[in-house]
Amino acid sequence: MRDDASGGRLALVLVIVTWLPLAVVGFLTRTEGLIRDYGVHARLLVAIPLLIAAERSLHVRTARCIERFTSGQWVKGETAAVARITAAAIRRRDMVVPELVLLVLALIGSQLVARGGAESLGIVRGRHQETWSPAVAWIVRAPTRRRGYSGPAGSQTPHSASTAR
């Protein structure tokens, strides 16, 4: 569990990493759709910090429930078993491998959708475009920057636009 200060720092870092690049690209390219997409701003500026704050609240309430469960008449003499089960649940909650698997799946899914590969799978229809908006260019270019992929033929990404000048 995080204390209030580290939870606030984590929320700030996540907002900076997720929202700031989109805001900078939107303002530099004067992309109205990106600037006026209030749903994206709400998700990144409000929902992420609220989820971090909710984690602390959930931890406090869960600890209180387990304490009441073990101190009451529910587990007569079996507090060691409850402690063992609680420790196992905490270990599972803090596992890194499932988080990494979900991260990889999210990156693969975003790349499929952004590049139109999901259409052939029947997941997304009619969203593939020949040119990319700055937001899509950011999503596609960030993970593939080292491989030199520059997007669909003729598309203008921030990288290809800056090298063409």
pLDDT computed for residue 136 by the predictor: 66
- Give 76-93 pLDDT, tens digit per residue: 888 888 889 989 999 998
pLDDT computed for residue 5 by the predictor: 72
pLDDT < 50: residue spans in the chain: 149, 151-165
- Give 125-151 pLDDT, tens digit per residue: 555 556 666 666 666 666 655 555 454
Note the helical H segments in 36-157.
Answer: 38-42, 48-71, 79-93, 97-115, 117-121, 134-144
Rounded to two decimals, what is the model's pTM? 0.54
Q: Where in the chain are the domains?
A: 1-94
